């Protein structure tokens, strides 16, 4: 199964060019429908793929978490993806996909892996509402294979959020206070979980905000800001003070969105902060190469507030 994992350098070049590789896998045949769906996950999030090792079952695990496995001295949780997709599968999963994102490592149980598919982000679309809702909101994007099968890209961030032990909300936002300055932020993220948390953090900071579900939608909103600024005869930075973007998004990823912003004189002076679960050094390096002003991992409201503060909060001589 090692052949499924390509070199980091090659995947890094793909990411910087609005391309990616998706590992295709199945969760088995659904007993209620008789169908075997095709799912996908960005290879950039995968650490390794292996046969399912011995799982240590533990009490008080969240629903869908089957237990823990020891991986080179590290205990990682094992998540049954079929459970989160509301699929009733009779066969036992045979493969464990070990993922690493947002500073955490976890394993996803799947029935089988198929192949790695190299694609461009503009070939990956936002899922129709009916499809997304059918799988409990876990499908963040879809694409079509040459054989006409539909691949559903899983929102692994939503899975992670639902398997985490929930912190008290007041503790999660402890120390996050309003900046005391009016500002407007545009943020783009294809994950509903991420968008909700970003919005709540910005509300707590007292910052006005607009959201977009992907880079293409964010760019369309930026064009609207530019048109409004031209009508008012002011710079766009007078209307919009910061762009916060995810990396992985259907249509246009965060790297391409950032490059377009930085290459367009209309948006001069508007900082771009990258907010992503892909927190490896390679991803940060790509972000810097396209002009990102700062990089912050998901999902920590306090860290997000600290990262935004230098760009939003008035300097000492302005207070």
Q: 89-120: per-residue pLDDT in tens?
A: 888 899 999 988 766 788 999 999 988 888 88
- The answer, yes or no, to whether residue 318 has pLDDT greater than 50, is no
Mean model confidence pLDDT for the chain = 82
Identify whether the C-beta of residue 111 lies closer than 8 Å to the C-beta of residue 91. yes
Q: Within this chain, do residues 147 and 111 fall inside the same structural domain, yes or no?
A: yes
At residue 164, the pLDDT reads: 63
Greater model confidence, 26 or 17: 26
How far are the Cα atoms of 75, 194, 198 from residue 201, in angstroms, in the given order? 31, 11, 5
Last residue within a domain, chosen from 106, 136, 163: 163
Q: Within this chain, do residues 10 and 159 fall inside the same structural domain, yes or no?
A: yes
Q: Within this chain, do residues 179 and 314 fall inside the same structural domain, yes or no?
A: yes
Under 8 Å CB-to-CB from 308, ≥6 apart: which residues?
185, 205, 207, 242, 244, 273
Q: Within this chain, do residues 144 and 8 fall inside the same structural domain, yes or no?
A: yes
At residue 18, the pLDDT reads: 64
Domain count, the chain: 2
Q: What is the mean pLDDT of residues 117-133?
A: 78
Domain extent for 229: 169-318
Residue 7 pLDDT level (bands cut at 50, 70, 90): very low
Q: Within this chain, do residues 143 and 188 fall inside the same structural domain, yes or no?
A: no
Q: How far apart are CA 287 and CA 274, in angstroms?
A: 7
Last residue within a domain, chosen from 163, 187, 206: 163
Q: Within this chain, do residues 100 and 35 fall inside the same structural domain, yes or no?
A: yes
- The answer, yes or no, to whether residue 8 has pLDDT greater than 50, is no
Identify whether the C-beta of residue 19 lies closer than 8 Å to the C-beta of residue 121. yes
Neighbours of 80 (CB within 10 A): 19
Q: Within this chain, do residues 40 and 110 fall inside the same structural domain, yes or no?
A: yes
Q: Within this chain, do residues 223 and 286 fall inside the same structural domain, yes or no?
A: yes
Q: Within this chain, do residues 86 and 177 fall inside the same structural domain, yes or no?
A: no
Range with the poorest average pLDDT among 23-27, 173-177, 257-261, 276-280: 276-280
Q: Within this chain, do residues 173 and 158 fall inside the same structural domain, yes or no?
A: no
Helix (H, G, I), strand (E, B) or coil at 226: helix
Q: What is the mean pLDDT of residues 259-265?
A: 95
* 182-214 pLDDT per residue, tens: 899 999 998 888 898 899 999 999 999 999 999
* 32-69 pLDDT per residue, tens: 777 788 999 888 788 889 999 999 987 777 778 888 99
What's 292's domain CATH number?
A: 3.40.50.2300
Q: Within this chain, do residues 6 and 155 fall inside the same structural domain, yes or no?
A: yes
What's 134's domain CATH number?
A: 2.40.50.180
Q: Kindly report the pTM of this predicted structure.
A: 0.72
Last residue within a domain, chosen from 163, 194, 216: 163
Q: Within this chain, do residues 113 and 222 fall inside the same structural domain, yes or no?
A: no
């Amino acid at each position: 199964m090692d052949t499924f994992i390509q070199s980091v350098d090659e995947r890094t070049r793909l990411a910087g060019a609005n391309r990616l590789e998706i590992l295709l896998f199945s969760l088995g045949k659904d007993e209620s429908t008789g169908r075997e769906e095709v799912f996908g996950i960005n290879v950039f999030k995968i650490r390794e793929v292996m046969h399912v090792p011995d799982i240590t079952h533990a009490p008080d695990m969240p629903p869908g978490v089957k237990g823990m496995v020891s991986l080179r001295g590290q205990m990682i949780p094992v998540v049954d993806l079929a459970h989160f997709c509301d699929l009733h599968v009779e066969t036992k999963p045979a493969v464990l996909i070990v993922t690493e994102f947002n500073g955490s490592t976890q394993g996803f149980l799947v029935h089988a892996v198929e192949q790695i598919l190299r694609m461009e982000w503009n070939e990956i679309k936002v899922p129709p509402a009916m499809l997304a809702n059918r799988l409990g909101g876990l499908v963040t994007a879809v694409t079509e294979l040459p054989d006409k099968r539909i691949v559903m890209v899983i929102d692994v961030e939503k899975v992670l959020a639902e398997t985490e032990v929930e912190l008290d909300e007041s503790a999660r936002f402890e120390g996050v206070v309003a900046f005391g300055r009016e500002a407007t932020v545009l943020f783009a993220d294809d994950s509903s979980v991420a968008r909700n948390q970003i919005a709540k953090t910005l509300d707590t900071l007292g910052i006005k905000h607009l959201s977009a579900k992907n880079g293409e939608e964010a760019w369309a909103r930026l064009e609207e800001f530019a048109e409004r600024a031209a009508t008012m005869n002011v710079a766009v930075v007078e209307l919009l003070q910061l762009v916060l973007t995810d990396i992985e998004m259907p249509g246009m990823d965060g790297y391409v969105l950032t490059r377009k912003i930085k290459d367009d004189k209309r948006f001069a002076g508007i900082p771009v902060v990258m907010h992503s679960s892909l927190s490896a050094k390679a991803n940060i390096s790509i972000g810097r190469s396209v002009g990102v002003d700062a990089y912050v991992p998901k999902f920590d409201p306090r860290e997000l507030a600290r990262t935004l503060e230098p760009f939003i909060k008035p300097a000492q001589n302005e207070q």
